[in-house]
Amino acid sequence: MDDRASVLSANLAFYQAFERKDPVAMRNVWAGAASDCCIHPGWEIARGWAAIRATWTSIFANDTPMSVIPEQVGVDVWGNVARVVLVERVSMDGEAIGRVAVTNLFVRTPEGWRMTLHHGSPITPSEEEEEPDDIH
């Protein structure tokens, strides 16, 4: 498997852990290092695995079924660092709740590619999407 395919596989493992609210799988996705960073939409920066784990514990405590579909996925690899930039289409309980622009960063380790950064920012709906114009 080439680097891009391996990185996409690590990225997919992240979304599977996320949707399944699986703390063990989520731990295995991350490097687990002091330099790990995670910024959820609207949140402060969580630095280091201990702080990041606490954010997932809080998110996974909500037991509403959640779907997070990656779209517009772009991958770049520079040596031992890989970047995935994408848009997440997020639904809760089957209802679309919004789109999130995401940067996922991975580092190559002896165990394979591991996440060192997840940064998500809510995409503000355009006026057309938010307020359909019935007049025209």
Cα–Cα distance list, 114 to 11, 13, 58, 127 (Å):
9, 10, 22, 38
* 8 A C-beta contact, residue 123 and residue 100: yes
Residues that bind a second copy (rule: CB under 8 A) add up to a total of 31
Burial label for 112, CB within 10 Å (0-12, 13-18, 19+), is middle
Stretch that binds a second copy, among 10-18, 59-67, 89-97, 117-125 (CB under 8 A): 117-125
**Closest separation in Å from C-beta 117 to a second copy:** 6
Distance (Å, whole) CA 24 – CA 56: 11
Distance (Å, whole) CA 55 – CA 46: 8
Q: Work out the angle at residue 83's Cα, subtended by the Cα atoms of residues 79 and 88, and round it to the nearest 5 degrees.
A: 160
Site for a second copy, residues 72 to 91, rule: CB under 8 A: 72, 74, 76, 78-81, 83, 85, 87
Closest to a second copy by CB, 26 vs 120, is 120
Tokens for 125, please give them.
């709906």
> Does the footprint of a second copy cover residue 110 (CB under 8 A)?
no
**Closest separation in Å from C-beta 33 to a second copy:** 9
Site string for a second copy, 8-47 (x = CB under 8 A): ---------------------------x-x-x-xxxxx-x
Contacts with a second copy, residue ranges (CB under 8 A): 35, 37, 39, 41-45, 47, 72, 74, 76, 78-81, 83, 85, 87, 101, 103, 105, 107, 116-117, 119-124
